[in-house]
Amino acid sequence: MKRNSMSLLLVLLLAAALVLTGCGTGGNATPANTTPADNTPQTGENSDLIPAVVGYWGGTCESPIFVAYEKGFFKEAGLDVKLLKITGDVAVLMANDELDAFELTPDKFKPMEQGLELMIIDSLHKGCIQGAAAPESGIQSVADLEGKKVAAAIGGIAQIQIASEMVKLGKDPKKVTWLSYPNAQMEQALDQGEVDAFATYDPFPEMAVQNGKTKFYSNTFDPGLKDTLCCFIGMNKRTLDANPEIGQRMSQAFTKACEYLEEKPDEAAQMVMDKGYIAGDADLNAQLIKDYTWIAGDKKTVDDSFREIWHQIARAGALEKAPADLDAYIDELYVQMVSFMGEQ
């Protein structure tokens, strides 16, 4: 276990440019291709498809990836996709041209600012990060976190958003003791009294709530957070520069997947559970899928969310050199980090 404080946040954010985690459990094992054999694209009839590798960690919010693959939306868009279970360093995978696209979360914004060659090409959904607290801790909201021990990815979007909300409420996030744990071990740390609360991607917080814990933070439901995207389609910049059509086809496939998730959440949840992509159970994941707002092909939502997230990062004190004109700086970052490929 490694103990951290907000005073270490800036150093750790720099390290995040090289070691990245995302929706799901993360880890350090060597990545392995997990494309199901019965859906592996064949040569001949699909020889006109453009090959692409799409990575995932295994979170509920990555359902568009699994739906697009299992329902054939990638193929309909002209893509020969192989799925890759990400268990290591995204930057290394991209540098070795082993990864073309994945569900990009705001955890990647700082590494992208610092040179990680990723591009946001479209929106995916709102909501998917929540927090659970021990009932005896007395924590009901982020306003109650001063003096508490909280497990969260250091420099991750959960910590950034919680710190940002505390500042808005006149609270000091530096008075929180932040601890690092793998996502799947956070509830256990809570049960053992090592932390008072934790925050991460679903389904882990919702599983804890079902086990009697208190939900104290949610970018799915909380005012000021629920209207901001939490996940985007991210693409390897070199892949996109070499063939922008791949980005356009990705956007088309994910748009169909988001529509399917809005229309048939129960079927989608059962399908991804049957295929073993996500932890938890079908009913829990179906409810989470219903709670999220699935939205692709919406440039205004991408624009507004991008800017709001950077304001959260600044409010949390995670900009090394806060510019005098923050909005102008964010506009520069937008040009560097966004290449919208959706329906406009």
**Which among 155, 184, 218 is the end of a domain?**
218
Q: Is 240 found in the same domain as 293?
A: yes
Question: pLDDT at residue 344 above 80?
Answer: no
Q: Is 134 found in the same domain as 166?
A: yes
Query: Does the residue 153 lie in any domain?
Result: yes
Q: Is 201 found in the same domain as 235?
A: no
Q: What values do phi and psi take at 57, rounded to 5?
A: -100, -35
Query: Does the residue 30 lie in any domain?
Result: no
Q: Is 117 found in the same domain as 246?
A: yes
Closest to 18 (Cα-Cα) out of 121, 154, 160, 114: 114
> pLDDT, tens digit, for every residue of 235-256?
999 999 999 999 999 999 999 9
Q: Is 250 found in the same domain as 237?
A: yes
| Total tally of structural domains belonging to the chain | 2
> Which tokens hold the place of 78?
């002209």
Percent of the chain past pLDDT 90, that is, above it, reads 74
Query: Does the residue 309 lie in any domain?
Result: yes
Whole domain around residue 174: which residue ranges? 129-218
Percent of the chain past pLDDT 70, that is, above it, reads 86
Average pLDDT over residues 250-263: 96
Query: Does the residue 86 lie in any domain?
Result: yes
**Which among 218, 248, 276 is the end of a domain?**
218
Query: Does the residue 35 lie in any domain?
Result: no
Q: Is 242 found in the same domain as 288?
A: yes
Rounded distance between C-alpha atoms, residue 24 and residue 62, angstroms: 9
Tell me what pLDDT residue 288 has. Answer: 92
Q: Is 74 found in the same domain as 152?
A: no
Rounded distance between C-alpha atoms, residue 64 and residue 70, angstroms: 10
Higher pLDDT among residues 276 and 31, named by residue: 276
Rounded distance between C-alpha atoms, residue 55 and residue 61, angstroms: 13
Tell me what pLDDT residue 283 has. Answer: 92
Q: Is 275 found in the same domain as 183?
A: no
Question: pLDDT at residue 200 above 90?
Answer: yes
DSSP state of 176: S
Query: Does the residue 145 lie in any domain?
Result: yes
* Local confidence band at 46 (pLDDT 50, 70, 90 cut-offs): low
* Local confidence band at 281 (pLDDT 50, 70, 90 cut-offs): confident
DSSP E strands in the chain: the ranges are 2-4, 32-33, 50-56, 79-85, 101-104, 118-126, 129-133, 149-151, 177-180, 197-201, 214-218, 229-236, 293-294
Query: Residues 247, 334: contact at Cβ < 8 Å?
Result: no
- CATH number of the CATH domain containing 174: 3.40.190.10
SS3 content of the chain, % helix, strand, coil (to 5): 45, 20, 35
Q: Is 165 found in the same domain as 106?
A: no
List of residues 6+ apart from 267 with CB closer than 8 A: none
> pLDDT, tens digit, for every residue of 166-198?
999 999 999 999 999 999 899 999 999 999 999
Tell me what pLDDT residue 108 has. Answer: 92
* Local confidence band at 44 (pLDDT 50, 70, 90 cut-offs): very low
Tell me what pLDDT residue 278 has. Answer: 87
Rounded distance between C-alpha atoms, residue 318 and residue 337, angstroms: 18
Rounded distance between C-alpha atoms, residue 38 and residue 84, angstroms: 16
> pLDDT, tens digit, for every residue of 114-157?
999 999 999 999 999 999 999 999 999 999 999 999 999 988 89
Tell me what pLDDT residue 7 has. Answer: 40
Q: Is 175 found in the same domain as 109?
A: no
Q: Is 98 found in the same domain as 192?
A: no
> pLDDT, tens digit, for every residue of 140-151?
999 999 999 999
Asked whether the CA dihedral 307, 312, 314, 320 is positive or negative, the reply is: negative
**Which among 218, 249, 280 is the end of a domain?**
218
146-182 b/e with 16+ CB inside 10 Å = b?
Answer: eebbbbbbbbbbbbbbbbbbbbeeebebeebbbbebb
Query: Does the residue 329 lie in any domain?
Result: yes
> pLDDT, tens digit, for every residue of 5-41?
444 343 334 334 333 334 544 333 333 334 433 333 3
Question: pLDDT at residue 335 above 70?
Answer: yes
Query: Does the residue 275 lie in any domain?
Result: yes
List of residues 6+ apart from 38 with CB closer than 8 A: none
Q: Is 318 found in the same domain as 196?
A: no
Tell me what pLDDT residue 91 has. Answer: 87
Average pLDDT over residues 57-68: 94
Tell me what pLDDT residue 47 has. Answer: 62
Burial of 69 per CB tally in 10 Å (0-12, 13-18, 19+): buried
Tell me what pLDDT residue 319 has. Answer: 85
